[in-house]
Amino acid sequence: MSMESAQSKSVKHVPSYCYNCVSGPDLMNVKVVDGVATEIEPNFAAANVHPAKGRVCVKAYGLVQKTYNPNRISTPMKRTNPKKGRNEDPGFVPISWDEALDIVAEKLKAVRAKGLVDEAGLPRVAVSLGHGGTPSNYMGTFPAFLASWGEVDFSFGSGQGVKCVHSEHLYGEFWHRGFTVAADTPNCRYNIAVGANVDVTGGPCAVTRHADARVRGYKRVQVEPHLSATGACSAEWVPIRPKTDPAFLFALIHVLVRENGLAKLDIPFLRDRTASPYLVAPDGLYLRDPQSGKPLVWDENTAGAVVHDTPGAKPAVAGSYRVARAVVVDADKERREYSDVEGATAYEMLARHIEKYTPEWAETVCDVKAATIRRIANEYLEAASIGETIEIDGKTLPLRPVAVTLGKSVNNGWGAYECCWARTVLAALVGALENPGGLLGTTVRLNKSRDNRHLSVAPGEDGFMVQYFNPTTKEEWQVAPSTRNLHQTLVPIVGHNGAWSQALGPTQLAWMFQNERPDDWSMPMPTLPEVWLVYRSNPSISFWDTRHLAEIAAKFPFMACFAYTVDETNYMADVLLPEATDLESTQMIRMGGTKYMEQFWDHKGVVLRAKAVEPQGEARDFTWITTELAMRTGLLESYVKAINKGISGVSPLKGEGYDFRLDPATPPTTEQVWDAVCRAATRTMSEGREEHDLKWFEQNGFFTVPMSRLEWYLTPTMEQHGLRYELPYQERLLRAGRELGRRLHEKKMNWWDEQLSEYAALPEWHDVPGRWIRNLEKAGAKAEDFPFWLLTTKSMQYHAGGNAAIEVMHEVAQNLRGHAGVIMNAKTAAGLGIAEGDRIEVRSHIGATYGKAALVQGVRPDTLVIIGQFDHWATPFAKTLEAPSLNSIAPMSLDLTDATGSGADIVRVAVRRMEGRAAA
Amino acid sequence: MTRYVMTIDLRRCVGCQTCTAACKGANATPPGIQWRRVLDIESGEFPDVRRTFLPVACMHCGDPPCESVCPTRATTKRADGLVAIDYDLCIGCANCVMACPYDARSIVHEPRFAYGDTPTAAEAARFDPARIGVSMKCTFCKDRIDHAERTGLVPGVDPEVTPACVNSCISGAMGFGDIDDPNSGVNALLAETQYFRMHEELGTEPGVYYVWDKS
């Protein structure tokens, strides 16, 4: 310090943001001494607007090293070895930017000359972007380039579906515009966290809020096989058997519905805001009015069946009733007429359905005592404080301070539909869905407007919100897939509203079907994209069966990667383009409002990532690279017009009272782009009152306006529209599944039949863990040879951001258990002769991975855990860690793919000690 | 009188190591040297297990064992409670390293850098040869405390004069201030909570208070 202060010529603190993971952005300052970034600091200027008071998490403190990492790609490079593969040295050699951009542009122009879509109907250009949409916060104007390009395939994911909270995204958005779902932690009193590792993955906002809640006295019950950091900070740990979470949640519903009964639940919410009163015919479809086709309810005032939106009616929530005349509408709009038919309310159907799922039954499945399940359910119900209210900005709302939150591998893969359904029903039963204290969606991605989920609420069918399913009718079903992950063909719920719909298709199918397809495949054969562009994405490490995946990646004919270091995916690249990283580049994004995880604020605004230091080597700002590509591919005009529309920025560059549009005929500089965006954004956010330019933001960093907390809660908006949440009964999904099945079967395809079983109006337990056992048996292995479950858990230090290559992140992570190896139960290990630090082999039926044993008590005896995904073989520094990874030994399999196209991070394994003892 | 202390609310800490990394950044410590870190401690037997996160560093003791064993008087307790090391006087004998019951001190004998023998630009800009071969530990960011003396800013209130770890803590677990000031934040917290000091039985009078429950 003394040396530094003695010799310093200039010190500045440059405001910026960290968006390493989806829980951002969080605000920070970069301390720059004599032009060198030396420290990351909180930005306390944001203390009053940012829920985490201007602080960033541990990952951001690696950004200085990230900037000056000597292993960075410092110049554009091209491959000299035409052979591709893990054992083929790419022979990268430095080239000029001109040459690199020309190579990429020529490939792109060749594609345009042939047509954007190939003979199989698939885009010739594919783009893979990494972790959860975070690249868009770093890639400048690249979205405008993609928009100007046209059809692009986002099918080749780096983790979508298998590493994200996939079913939560799809069903959460379907039920309550909750692409991401969180507890209303500032008001919550009781949180059942089923694998939700929010103190690791939720970012500073979640950590701050949950810490406040603990001090305030809320109770969090952590239900998970391994005692995570979040579990450590919870009041209670329930070590559930892996993948049996649906049974646990079903039993909670049982206790509420069967043991407590409707009288103790939130009857007005169920009656008015859900489909609980809708009458269901014996065939499982809604009874409908023959004339209008609207679902019927039983009006207690008139003792008769009326359409659901009849003014003045008081629908019965429970019971069954005889209806004189009604129709049902089945798949393909098939109508059946009924007379004198019994209709049970949807709630009644739920009550009957859930009767068998007692806590005693669940105990046999979950290995959790029935008394524990019953106690937790009753604590939840009591904490819901039905009847209590809270005043927010002058409006009185119900206060229902309870939430069930779900974690990855609970809310994706088989069983996830059941879990998402159960926890949303649990919220609805007590009126906690989208009400203060309860369960909130924070983000929409499959609906618009993406920055205000309330604007996505509009009347749709049957008294519910409008939905944009991929069509499954005979006329409209997409029989020839338009993307390699078949998202429109196979997954109705994912919709077709742009890149997010694509990216949330069954991405592993895109990888799997490049090699082999089911015997009864009758669609066009999937092709490889002619050009593959990759940014912040390393599927050869982060997906599954990674050795095999890397072999597929090696077959892609042309690949250009925006590259930080050499890594396991860009090892197959033809061209590497070094982009300016976090501290070296400029971009404005939105912040606040309500978005991922627990980023729901009392403010909304914009934040600038200002260039704090000059880029290292020849690295270039992404906006500069993009503009060059647009020029060289002849797309400048449409690219600039896309920028003007606001596609890469925050707001359109022309709006009421302002016009900062850029000239489409002139390539804009990076500064011109972001100066215009800064001005337009502040004009928009302030409704014309203020305008700030790039210079202002370089000094001040961010701009916010206040936001009412009423924007956190969707239920008042639903009430305004007179709409109901599509719960608890899933007639729409049932019909969509039936139609999809018919379409596939008409094409003689049965390979998706197992997935079709997920389309149930009321989900049943279906031995979820058994699917993994059957899968290995099908592959010819014996179940008894693989007696353990292997899971993953996330690490705040490593999670996202490519931090395995950052030395300081590795160093500080080692303070936490298990970061060097395989976490296993100490007693189990003793039985196998494994001691702390022993090098062990963890083997599945497709391969083995190796690491040091980390022995703990806080994990089930039948479960092993590997943190993260670190078995790098090309990434400098990371490849020296000799760390294990589940990804190397988890199979990609249709059997392990659920109906949404997602799979869970779990595999059956054997474990043994390698020869030789660990050094003492 | 002034006695600067730190409070750590164990109800809040999530073990994230943000303070560890922020300290490394603020103090430019070499790889493997952590002036502070968060321990990950497990107790009990499956399924009755507790896992606790415990931030540790120099306790800035009121009666520091490291001070009395220092043959050159390089380690001294300042009037404001900070235990400081004068690198010009330290001979690197490691008596203090052995004497500290908190494992808070370390000595680096050769320069170390994150990626091999060559420092990065940031490391080169901050490399301090005076720190080689001498005892090092958490200083409570004493340059900042000294800056407070000059400016009238208040440690624990004004970020410019508050230790980097406290500033960085995303769970709000860490507090800092003058325990002799009845109006300080640390006093307010300790007045309403139950707390302990680590190894208080050794008579070291540690200056770090671990809060574990409300009063």
Q: What is the pLDDT of residue A597?
A: 83
pLDDT band at residue A7, thresholds of 50, 70 and 90? low
Res A919 pLDDT > 60:
no
Residue range(s) in chain A whose domain bears CATH number 2.40.40.20: 768-913
pLDDT per residue as tens digits for the range A190-225:
999 999 999 999 999 999 999 999 999 999 999 999
Res A277 pLDDT > 80:
yes
CA B181 to chain A, closest CA, distance in angstroms equals 24
Interface size between A and B, measured as CB pairs under 8 A: 181
- Please judge whether B31 and A233 are an interchain contact, meaning their C-beta atoms are less than 8 angstroms apart: no
| β-strand partners of A398 | A389
pLDDT band at residue B98, thresholds of 50, 70 and 90? very high
Question: Mean pLDDT throughout A775-785?
Answer: 97
Question: Mean pLDDT throughout A892-918?
Answer: 90
pLDDT per residue as tens digits for the range A281-323:
999 999 999 999 999 999 999 999 999 999 999 999 999 999 9
Q: Which DSSP letter does residue A891 get?
A: P
Q: What is the pLDDT of residue A8?
A: 57
| Highest mean pLDDT, choosing among A388-397, A446-455, A544-553 | A388-397
Identity of the residue in B52, B126, B143 whose CB atom sits nearest the CB atom of A232: B52
Q: Does A565 touch chain B (CB under 8 A)?
A: no
- Please judge whether B49 and A857 are an interchain contact, meaning their C-beta atoms are less than 8 angstroms apart: yes
CB–CB of A260/A366 below 8 Å?
Answer: no
pLDDT per residue as tens digits for the range A467-507:
999 999 999 999 999 999 999 999 999 998 888 899 899 98
Alpha carbon distance A228, A239 (integer Å): 11
Chain A residue with the nearest C-alpha to that of B121: A68
Maximum separation of any 2 CA atoms in chain B, in Å: 54
Question: Mean pLDDT throughout A645-671?
Answer: 96
- Structure-token pair, residue B50: 């507790």
pLDDT per residue as tens digits for the range A251-260:
999 999 999 9
Pseudo-torsion of CA B136, B137, B141, B143, nearest 10°? -20
CA B23 to chain A, closest CA, distance in angstroms equals 10
Q: Which DSSP letter does residue B81 get?
A: S
3-state SS of A209-246 is HHHHHHHHCCEEEEECCECCHHHHCCCEEECCCCCCHH
pLDDT band at residue A449, thresholds of 50, 70 and 90? confident
- Please judge whether A58 and B20 are an interchain contact, meaning their C-beta atoms are less than 8 angstroms apart: yes
β-pairing verdict for A279-280 and A559-562: unpaired
Q: Domains of chain B, with CATH numbers?
A: 4-214 (3.30.70.20)
Higher pLDDT, B55 or A545: B55
User: Which residues in chain A are closer than 8 Å to B123, comparing Cβ atoms?
Assistant: 68
pLDDT band at residue B154, thresholds of 50, 70 and 90? very high
β-pairing verdict for A402-406 and A190-194: parallel
Residues 6+ positions from A611 with CB-CB distance below 8 Å: A580, A583, A584, A585, A586, A621
Amino acid at A537: S
Alpha carbon distance B179, B188 (integer Å): 9
Residue A366, H or E segment: helix A359-366
Identity of the residue in B21, B51, B115 whose CB atom sits nearest the CB atom of A61: B21
Question: Mean pLDDT throughout B157-170?
Answer: 98
- Please judge whether B17 and A861 are an interchain contact, meaning their C-beta atoms are less than 8 angstroms apart: no
Per-window interface: A 863-882 vs B, CB < 8 A: 877
First and final C-alpha spacing in chain B: 27
pLDDT band at residue A395, thresholds of 50, 70 and 90? very high
pLDDT per residue as tens digits for the range A592-642:
999 888 999 999 999 999 999 999 999 999 999 999 999 999 999 999 999
Residue range(s) in chain A whose domain bears CATH number 3.40.228.10: 185-437+730-738
User: Which residues in chain B are closer than 8 Å to A4, comparing Cβ atoms?
Assistant: 28, 125-126, 128
- Please judge whether A808 and B21 are an interchain contact, meaning their C-beta atoms are less than 8 angstroms apart: yes
Alpha carbon distance A770, A721 (integer Å): 43
- Please judge whether B47 and A237 are an interchain contact, meaning their C-beta atoms are less than 8 angstroms apart: yes
Handedness of CA A155, A157, A160, A163 (dihedral sign): positive
Residue B55, H or E segment: strand B48-57
pLDDT band at residue A165, thresholds of 50, 70 and 90? very high
Q: What is the pLDDT of residue A299?
A: 98
pLDDT per residue as tens digits for the range A522-531:
999 999 999 9
pLDDT band at residue B26, thresholds of 50, 70 and 90? very high
CB–CB of B120/B113 below 8 Å?
Answer: yes
Q: Does B189 touch chain A (CB under 8 A)?
A: no
Average pLDDT of chain A, as a whole number: 95
* DSSP letter for each residue of A315-357: B-SS-EEEEEEEEEE-GGG-EEEEEEEEEEEHHHHHHHHHTT-
pLDDT per residue as tens digits for the range A265-275:
999 999 999 99
| β-strand partners of A315 | A299
Per-window interface: B 71-110 vs A, CB < 8 A: none
pLDDT band at residue A162, thresholds of 50, 70 and 90? confident
Q: Which DSSP letter does residue A257 get?
A: I
pLDDT per residue as tens digits for the range A546-602:
988 999 999 999 999 999 999 999 999 999 999 999 999 999 999 999 988 899 999
Chain B residue with the nearest C-alpha to that of A218: B11
Q: What angle do CA B137, B140, B145 make, to 5 degrees?
A: 135
* DSSP letter for each residue of A515-532: T---TT--SPPPPPPSEE
Q: Shortest CA distance to A427 belongs to which of A262, A266, A245?
A: A266
Give the C-alpha distances (Å, rounded to integers) separating A548 from A85, A541, A553, A555, A720. Answer: 11, 11, 9, 11, 52
Residues 6+ positions from A558 with CB-CB distance below 8 Å: A107, A530, A531, A532, A574
Chain A residue with the nearest C-alpha to that of B126: A4
pLDDT per residue as tens digits for the range A735-751:
999 999 999 999 999 99
pLDDT per residue as tens digits for the range A73-103:
999 999 999 999 999 999 999 999 999 999 9
Structural class in CATH, domain A185-437+730-738 = alpha beta
Residue A268 preceded by cis peptide, ω within 30: no
Res A676 pLDDT > 50:
yes
Q: Which long-range contacts (CB under 8 A, 24 or more apart) does A777-783 make?
A: A778/A895, A779/A845, A779/A846, A779/A891, A780/A845, A781/A845, A783/A908
Res A346 pLDDT > 60:
yes
Question: Mean pLDDT throughout A240-249?
Answer: 98
Question: Picking from A294-308, A705-719, A797-811, which range would have the lowest pLDDT averaged per residue?
Answer: A797-811
Query: Does the domain spanning A768-913 belong to CATH 2.40.40.20?
Result: yes
CB–CB of A298/A305 below 8 Å?
Answer: yes
Amino acid at A606: V
